[in-house]
Amino acid sequence: MSSSKKPIPGAPAAQPPQVPEQTVPHSPLPPKSDQRGPEMVSPTGVPTGAPAGSASQSGAYLTTAQGLRLSDTDHSLKAGTRGPTLLQDHHLREKITHFDHERIPERVVHARGAGAHGIFQSYGTGTRITRAGFLAKDVQTPVFVRFSTVAGSRGSADTVRDTRGFATKFYTDEGTFDLVGNNIPVFFIQDGIKFPDVVHSVKPHPDREIPQAQSAHDTFWDFVSLHTEAQAHTVWFMADRGIPRSFRTMEGFGVHTFRLVNADDQTSLVKFHWKPRLGVHSLVWEEALMINGVDPDFHRRDLANAIEAGAFPAWELGVQVFPDTDDEMFEGIDLLDPTKFIPEELAPVQPLGLMTLNANPKNYFAETEQVAFHPGHLVPGIDITNDPLLQARMFSYLDTQISRLGGPNFAQIPINRPQAPVNDMLRDGMHQSADYAGVAPYRPNSLDGGCPFHAGSQDGAFIDIPQPVAEGVKIRDAAATFDDHYSQATLFYRSLSTVEQSHVIEAYTFELGKCYETAIRERQLKSLANIDAGLCSGVAAGLGLPVPEPEQQPGNPQPSPAVSQVGRKWPTDGRVIGIVTDSGTDADKVLTARDAITAAGMVPLVIAPTGGMLTDTDEPVQRSYATAHSTEFDALLLATSETGEPVDPRILLMVTETFRHAKAIGGWGSAAAVLAAGAIDLSAAGLVLGEPEDVVTRVGELLTEHRVWKRFSA
C-alpha cells in the first residue's frame, strides 16, 4: 500500500535559508513547484520558443538596471561620513526613482489614510528659537492632517499592527510647511537608500501577494534580523503603539532632527513632537483582530465621528531643543541617526502651540487621497540637517508626487494650493491650470519689468542656513556613531510597564510564529538576546526554540517613563460608552445615564434587542444586538432588567469580550446576574454597580486610565 504526502501550504522552501547571512554568491533560487510564470510569447501572441524563465533576472551579483555591478547598496554617497548626500549618486537616484514609481496610482506606502481639516494656534513660545511666522504669538494657521498606515494597500484594514503616518500641512502666509512624521520617534533605517529594501520586505510576498498589511511573514523578519539597525524601530511597533486605539490618541513625531534659526540668526537643533490631549492609548491584540473583521474602517470612522460629534481631537506641538554643536550629538546620542530618540527626561518637550481638528473632508479623493506632502516644503526659520534618511526623502517625496498626481503641477490641486502668493516662473506641464501673466518666465528679464524679484531676509525670504561641510572624501559609509543598533531598543523595552512588556513578548511570538523558516526565527532571537534577556527567553519559550546567548550584553540604561502608556490619567472626551438594554429596561434610568455621559463629554450609544425606539419612549436606539460589538465601546453599562429568562448570548459575548479586553463595566438592575452568567467574578477590578449617575461617574474615572490594567496583572 503506497501513500503520497501532499505538500503543506506555506512549507519552507526546498533550499531553506541559513541563520548566518549568506556570504557565497549564487544565482537566484528557482520557483517553488506550485509556481509558474506566463508562457513565453511575443506581444502579438506568437510563441517565441524561449525557455521558461529566460525573462527572469539572473546573475549572482547586485547590479544597476544597466547591469553595472555594485559594491554597496546600504549607504548613500556622501561628502564624508557625516556630510550631505551628493546629487551625483546615480545608484541612489535610480533605486529611489524606480521605487517611487512602483505603484500607480496609490501611494507606494501610506496608501490607506484618513484626513481632517483644522487650526493650529501658536503660543508664541517658539520665537526664541525660530523666525517662522506661524509660530509667532497668537497666530492661527489652517492645517490639513493625514493619518495613515504604512504597509497596507488602500483597501486594507485600519487596526493592523503597523507604524502610522502623521503628516500635517500648515498653510502659512510664508508658504506651505509640511511636517511629515510617524507615531513612532525612530525609523527602521539610517540611510534613505535602504527605504526600498525595508518596504519591499514588509509588503506582501511577491509570489502570492499575501499577507496584506502585515509584518508577520518571512520576508520582513528576514530583513530586520539581518539589517539590525531596524531592531530599535521594530520593538516600538511590537509594543502597543503598533495598534493605536484611535488616531485621536496617537502621538506624532517628526523623526528627524531639524535645524531652526531665529531672528538673530542663532541656530538650534530640534525634534518635533505631537502630544495628544487625550493621551496615548492602544488596543489589545485580540480586540484589534476582531475589529479588522467587524469594522476594518475603525480608525477613519472614529476620527470622522468624533469631529462630527463636536469632540474635536487636539494635539500640542512641541520641540526638544539641542545645542547646534559641531558634532551634532546630545548626551552621547547622534542627532543625525533617525533610529535614535532622545528620552524626554534628558530633553523635555517644550510646547509651541495647539492643533485642533474641527472639520471632515467633503470628498475623500479630492482631499485625503490627493494631498501631497514633502519634507522639503519649508518656511523661513526651519531647515533640514544632514540626516541621511531625510536627505533621501528630500528627493523621493517630490519625485513620488510627480508620478502619482500626473505631473509637476500637483501644487495646483485645491488641497495642495499654498495660501500665500505664488509667482514661481514654472510653466506648462501636465494639468497646468494657473493663468499666468507676462511673457518672461525667466530671470533676469526686462520685458516683465524685472518681475518677479528676489526677496531678502527682510522680505521674509527663505535663507539657507550656512553650514560648514567637513573636508573629506566622497564615500558610501556611515559615521561610527551609527553602529549601535541595540541600546535604544533596550532602553525602550525596559521603560515599559510589566503589562506592556508582556504585550511585546506576545507580539514577537505571534509575528515570528507566522514565519515558515526556522532560521529566520532563530536569527531574530539572537537580536532579542542583545536587547533584553527576559524578552528573548519569553519569545523563545513561545516559539519552542532554545534561548541563544547574546552576541553583546544588553546595557543597563536609565528607563524613560515618558515612553510608557500606562500610569497616568487623561481626559475622556469623546470616549464611547455602550448602554445595554432589554425589553424590560427602566427607560428613565437609561436616559439619566445617557445625559450624564453626554454632560461628561463622552458619547453614549443605546443598545437594544432591535432597532427602533427605546421601550416606552420616543428616544431612538443607536445599536441593536445584531449590530453592536464590544470593540466599538470604551466601556459598557448594563441596564438590563430582571426577566427570569436566560441572558441573551449576544449580550454575554459583548460582556465577556469587554471584560477580557480590560475595559470598565458598570450597571444596575440585573447587571450582577449578567456578569455571573458570563462567569465574571464580581470582585474583579473595574466592575461598578449602583445607581446610574454614580455608575457613570465611577466608570468615567476608570476611563481616565484607558483600561483597567490591574485586570491583566491579576
DSSP 577: E
CA angle 671, 674, 677 (to 5 degrees): 150
The residue to which cell 453614549 is assigned: 604
Measured distance CA(697)–CA(323) in Å, rounded: 47
**H/E segment holding residue 499:** helix 498-513
* CB-based contact 386:84 (threshold 8 Å): yes
* pLDDT-above-70 percentage for the chain: 95
pLDDT at residue 154 in the model: 93
**Which tens digits make up the pLDDT trace of 303-331?**
999 999 889 999 999 999 999 999 999 99
- Whether 110 is catalytic is yes
- Does 36 belong to an annotated binding site? no
Residue 107 marked as a ligand binder: yes
Where do runs of H (alpha helix) occur along 515-610?
518-531, 533-543, 587-599
Residue 648 confidence (pLDDT) above 90: yes
Residue 448 pLDDT exceeds 60: yes
- CB burial class (10 A; 0-12, 13-18, 19+) of residue 414? exposed
* Arithmetic mean of pLDDT, 476-489: 95
What burial letters (b/e) apply to 695-709, b meaning 16+ CB within 10 Å? bbebbbebbebbbbb
Query: Which of 661, 540, 544, 536 is closest to 235 using CA atoms?
Result: 536
Q: From the CA atom positions of the chain, what is the Rg in Å?
A: 28
Q: Is 393 annotated as a binding residue?
A: yes
Asked if residue 357 lies in contact with residue 313, where contact means CB atoms within 8 angstroms, the answer is yes
For 36-163, strand residue ranges (E) read: 77-79, 113-122, 140-149
Q: Is the pLDDT of residue 94 over 90?
A: no
Q: Which position has the grid cell 487625550? A: 278
Report the candidate in 662, 666, 654, 663 with the shortest Cα–Cα distance to residue 696. Answer: 666
pLDDT tens for 379-438 read 999 999 999 999 999 999 999 999 899 888 888 888 998 888 888 888 888 888 888 888
DSSP of 21-33? PP-S--PPPPPPT
Mean pLDDT score of the chain: 91
pLDDT mean over 332-341: 97
Average pLDDT over residues 131-136: 97
Q: Is 195 annotated as a binding residue?
A: yes
pLDDT tens readout for residues 200-256 = 999 999 888 999 999 999 999 999 999 999 999 999 999 999 999 999 999 999 999
Alpha helix stretches (DSSP H) within 173-262: 195-202, 218-226, 231-238
Predicted structure pTM score? 0.90
CB 578 within 8 A of CB 637: yes
Q: To the nearest whole percent, how much of the chain has pLDDT over 90?
A: 71
Catalytic residue chosen out of the listed positions 91, 110, 233, 281: 110
Contact residues for 571 (Cβ-Cβ < 8 A; gap 6+): 277, 278, 279, 601, 704
Q: How far, in Å, CA of 62 to CA of 135, rounded? A: 47
**pLDDT for residue 104 is more than 60:** no
CA nearest neighbour of 230 among 549, 523, 559, 539: 523
Identity of the residue numbered 406: G
Vertex 167: Cα angle to 232 and 177 (nearest 5):
120
pLDDT score at 408? 87
- Band the pLDDT of 11: cuts 50, 70, 90: low
Q: What are phi and psi of 613, to 5 degrees?
A: -110, 150
The span from the first CA to the last CA of the chain, in angstroms, equals 55
Lowest mean pLDDT among 61-65, 205-209, 568-572: 61-65
The rounded Cα 710 to chain-centroid distance in angstroms is: 28
For residue 121, the cross-strand partners are 140, 354
Q: Domains of the chain, with CATH numbers?
A: 113-188+247-416 (2.40.180.10), 486-563 (1.20.1370.20), 576-713 (3.40.50.880)
**From 182, 360, 386, 409, the catalytic residue:** 182
Q: Is 183 a catalytic residue?
A: no
Q: What is the per-residue pLDDT for 7?
A: 61
